[in-house]
Structure 1
Amino acid sequence: MSFLLSWPSHLLKAFRQSIAYLPSLLALAYALLSLVALLLPVSDDRLPALLTMLGLEAPEETRALLAALLGGMISLMVFSFSMVMSVLSQAGGQFSHKLVFGLISERPHQWVLGHYLGTILFTLMLLMVPDVAEGQATWRSLAIYLACAMVIHCLALFVYFIHNASQSIQVDAVAADLHQSTLASLRALQSRQQGKEWRILAVAPSSGHRQHAVHARRAGYLQSADLAALAELARRVDGVVHLHFRFGDYVVEGLPILSLEAAAAPEASWCDEVRATLTYVEGESITEHHVFGMTQLMEVALKALSPGINDPGTARLCLHRLTDLLRRRLEWRPCDALFDQDGHCRVTWQVEDFESLLYRLFQPILRYGREDLSIGLGVLKALKTLSLFAEQKDLETLQAHADRVVETLSHAASHPLDRRFVSARLDDGIHRLSLPAALPGRQEA
């Protein structure tokens, strides 16, 4: 029963996250407006004299004008999106391909698409009902004037759309958008985990009961789960639910994705209710999982360091954004357990620690940019900055990465001039790392 009740909410959530959400709403609004113009006519004697003067003598003979407006709008929409797809395909060669769909599905682009579709629908409805009742010519004339105004409005949106699409693929705009989206996702997660029932476990609690596995019924990316609903389900059977995946992982059908630690095995209906709390999303959703925003910034940096692009400036720009996000991640660690009101642990899940996250983000950049001294120095500067906000355990992790960066710089700097340049900047600035005053002796491979 709970599964049947939760299915519409999951469907609505998936629709809200799709590219068709805003265009569908706008097209519906335009359709309702066209119905008002056609089904609720107002006679001329009930309209002000000024509007009556603007009425056309034979509005039913304006089908040629409406047909021209309709054809122009269809051509405008086709041209707009064929051009922007061409621009985005070029952007896919410069950035990560994961960003292409995100750029075209941005809210401003959806608004423009919705107005285009709505104008086409409104004009089409006027063409479908050409007859005008006697004494209602002014009302239909106003609808025709409104169709012309809609087309002019779409022409202005066309200029805005072209400008916004061209700006959205700029390096600074892409990095800033990823940074802001990731930061918003991190803040949203932090806001959700404010109550005392959200905790960080040093050691996972164990009641001594047997763990009963619950297997996945479908394959896909498990982006999130309704943890409060899971906690209530666990409380009903007096057990603890342990999630065996990280949010954002790809799971296959039949994989044991979670287990119930309880005295008795769960019923099949209970397992179905548990599966209904899980949210599958195709691809990587930054709004659901902030780590994806960080990894996409890293992938943009790797793309910029590829031999075909060779743009270390973009990589350094992504490093700056990653440094800020990791600094915020150092200041707050996500919770990994949810307790009930009686203080009993009900749900536990896996959270990627800072050490793993730092390795995933920085080491690929260091590896692909190992021949570029500016990349090595950029990574080292980021580690210096993070050291000012780290506790002792995280500081040891940063120190290990800094030692590897120094080793990489020592191998890459073969000329004495390069070594002097790098050595002068190794221990520069305010930080808490232990760095040498000069590069160590270069070891030949």
Structure 2
Amino acid sequence: MPDIDRLRFLWHRVRQQLWWRPAVWSVAAVLVALGSALADAWVPADWLPPLKEGLVSDLLRIMATSMLAVSTFSLSVLASAYASAASAATPRATRLVVADPQSQKSVAVFLAAFIFSIVGVVAMGTGRYGPAGRMVLFVCALGVLAWVVVAFMRYIDVLSRIGRVSHTIATVERATQSALQQAVRRPLGGALMAASASAGARPVTASNTGHVQFVDIEALQQLAHRLDGQVHVAAQVGDLVHPRAPLAWLRLPQAAAADQDSLAELRRAFVIGPERSIEQDPAYGLIVLAEIAERALSPAVNDPGTAIAVIGSQVRLMIAGLAETPDPAAPRFDRVSTPAGQPEALVALALEPIARCATGQPEVMMQVLRHLDALCRNAPPSVGVAARDLVPRLLARAERGGADPEDLERWHDEARNLGLRGGGAR
């Protein structure tokens, strides 16, 4: 049986698909429409107020006609919004924008209302509804109609936000924050910390090429316990693996060898895909945010305000996320080890690409320095050291890139005033 982490990972994958919510709600609409006929067996006809013949059918036909048009319109608008998010921000963020629950709910309501009305019209034509069934179906139709009105009002708010760069940044930030908090609360996924595999371990290589999207530590623990061995995870989430790259190192008791089924089970604990995903990979979320800023700083866009917003988002994520404390109740796995994480590497990963593109944008580079100072003051010591060490590299690259001498002088002065290394005399 899959463990809770793998189920959570698969649930996140399903949630990122646009079809799942409309499909579930459409099935519920069919059950409600057909189940209304059961009311005739439970509710006496003389308990109900009179209902004009054909009223229910007319209402359902009107809903069917209008909901088909509304569903088509909403899907076309969402498709345009997703294309806008991909072109204005980055294509890597599109999957997260598609997973936005508000837009999914709106489409699901419209489609479910259409399915409900169609099934209701067909069922009414079969003559299976008595007085009680027609009354229940009529009440349900009114409820669905009110549901549609509320959903449409919310959909107007969705349309005012979705596809905008600010909405995309906020969406990526939320996903990255969740992944970062999970990584800090459960460091190493509950495995032991070890720099390398123990003596006598044998490598288990990947069967295909791609990026590691998920590592099922609990499945590795169960496998190692059954084999009475130890597993050292070599491929971290986000790493590129190939048939000659070790996924893990497996150490078994002397004279023991793992069978092919056990090796296949070990490989199945690593979910490998063509691209990285944010669910367990907060570093990839920071990379996606950096891509949004790089596109904003390109000559074709020239939007330094968006780049500054991204810098604030990244630093906010690192300060808040790395301040989390490990959960003492998190499970620990004594037969699985993995190298320690390096949160200080997130600093260069997030801010260096932006600074590289900001040579001609003095205000953006100034914000980079000020946010690095914020990291030094608020983040863990190792992250603060990495932020301080990044400053001379950024300034040296800007000087080699032909930055304006006056801008360079201002940046050095700002670095000196903030107490960052690299702000000395030039």
Instruction: Go from structure 1 to structure 2 and tell me whether the alpha carbon gap of 1:332 and 1:353 turns closer, same or farther (over 3 Å shift).
Output: farther
Alignment of 1:100-119 (within 5 A): 100-119=94-113
Is the 2:283–2:349 Cα contact (8 Å) retained in structure 1? no
Q: CA deviation at 1:118?
A: 1.7
* Distance (Å, rounded) in 2 between the aligned partners of 1:356 and 1:330: 12
Whether the 8 Å contact between 2:93 and 2:172 is mirrored in structure 1 is: no
Partner of 2:22: 23
Report the Cα offset of residue 352 of structure 1.
5.1
In the alignment, the residues of structure 2 paired with residue 216 and residue 204 of structure 1 have an alpha-carbon distance, to the nearest angstrom, of 18
- Against the structure 1 CA distance between its residues 7 and 242, is the aligned structure 2 distance closer, same or farther, given a 3 Å change threshold? closer
Instruction: Give the CA deviation at 1:79.
Output: 0.6
Distance of 2:129 and 2:361 partners within structure 1: 78
Q: Could you tell me which of 390, 402, 414 is aligned with 2:391?
A: 402
Partner of 2:182: 188
Corresponding residue to 2:247 among 247, 257, 261 = 257
What is the Cα deviation at residue 315 of structure 1?
A: 0.6
- The one-letter amino acid paired with 1:315 is A
CA, structure 1 residues 9+334, in 2 after alignment: closer, same or farther (shift >3 Å)? Answer: closer
Matches for 1:268-347 after TM superposition, within 5 Å: 268-280=260-272, 283-328=275-320, 331=323, 340=333, 346-347=335-336
Where 1:427 maps in the other structure, the secondary structure is: helix
**SS state at 1:222 partner:** strand
2: CA distance between counterparts of 1:9 and 1:359?
30
Q: Deviations over 1:29-52 (max 9, x none)?
A: 22221121134435774464xx41
Q: Deviations over 1:317-352 (max 9, x none)?
A: 1111111223346556999xx965xxxx52223555
Matches within 5 A, 1:204-223: 204=196, 206=198, 208-209=199-200, 211-223=201-213
Aligned partner of 2:134 in structure 1 is 140
1:229 deviates by 2.4
Q: Distance in 1 between matches of 2:150 and 2:39?
A: 30
Give the residue type in structure 2 aligned to 1:288. Answer: Q
Counterpart residue identity of residue 52, structure 1: P
TM-superposed deviation, 1:388: 2.2
Q: Does 1:383 align with 2:372?
A: yes
Once the two structures are superposed, the pairs formed by residues 408-423 of structure 1 within 5 Å of their partners are 408=397, 410=399, 414=404, 416=406, 418=407, 421-422=410-411
Which stretch shifts more, 173-182 or 376-385? 173-182
1:346–1:63: structure 2 CA closer, same or farther, 3 Å change rule?
Answer: same
Deviation at 1:14, TM superposition (A): 4.6
In 1, the alpha carbon distance for the partners of 2:126 and 2:384 equals: 78
CA apart distance, 1:198: 4.5
Distance 1:149 1:108 in 2: 20
Distance 1:43 1:92 in 2: 54
State whether residues 56 and 137 of structure 1, in contact with CA within 8 Å, keep that contact through their aligned partners in structure 2: no
Query: Identical aligned pairs, as a percentage?
Result: 22
Match of 2:72 in 1: 78
Call closer, same or farther: CA 1:44–1:423 in 2, change over 3 Å. closer
Contact persistence 1:216–1:254 (CA under 8 A): yes
Change in Cα spacing, 1:271 to 1:10, as seen in structure 2 (3 Å) is: farther
Rounded to whole Å, the distance in 2 between the matches of 1:364 and 1:18 is 30
Q: 1:245 Cα deviation (Å)?
A: 1.4
> Match for residue 360 of structure 1?
349
Cross-structure match for 1:374: 363
Amino acid at match of 1:79: F
Range with greater deviation from structure 2 (117-126 or 243-252): 243-252
Residue 19 (structure 1) shift = 3.1
1:443 is matched with which residue?
Answer: none
CA contact (8 A) 1:69 1:123 kept: yes
Q: Is the alpha carbon distance of 1:132 and 1:47 closer, same or farther for their aligned partners in structure 2, counting shifts above 3 Å? A: farther
Match of 2:31 in 1: 32
Distance in 1 between residues matched to 2:150 and 2:355, nearest whole Å? 45
Q: Is the 8 A contact 2:191 2:217 kept in 1?
A: no
1:236 aligns with 2:236: no
What residue ranges of structure 1 are gaps of 5+ in the alignment? 441-445
Structure 2 equivalent of residue 426 of structure 1:
415
Q: Distance in 1 between matches of 2:170 and 2:11?
A: 29
- Largest Rg, 1 or 2: 1
Supply the RMSD in Å over aligned alpha carbons: 3.5
Find out whether 1:52 has 2:49 as its counterpart: yes
TM-score, reference length from structure 1: 0.81
Partner deviation per Cα, 1:5-25 (whole Å, 9 max, x = no partner): x99998777545533333232
Change (3 A) 1:117 1:270: same
Flag the 1:237–1:87 CA change in 2: closer, same or farther, 3 A: closer
- What is the Cα deviation at residue 407 of structure 1? 2.9
CA deviation vs aligned residue, 1:228-260 (integer Å, no higher than 9, x gap): 221232133232212221212343457542221
Amino acid at match of 1:436: G
Instruction: State how many pairs are aligned.
Output: 418
- Range with bigger deviation, 78-87 or 232-241: 232-241
Secondary structure of the residue aligned to 2:235 is strand
Q: Is the 8 A contact 1:220 1:251 kept in 2?
A: yes
Check 1:179–1:16 CA distance in 2 against 1; reply closer, same or farther (3 A cut): closer
Which runs of 5 or more structure 2 residues have no equivalent in the other structure? none
Separation (CA, whole Å) in 1 of partners of 2:274 and 2:38: 42
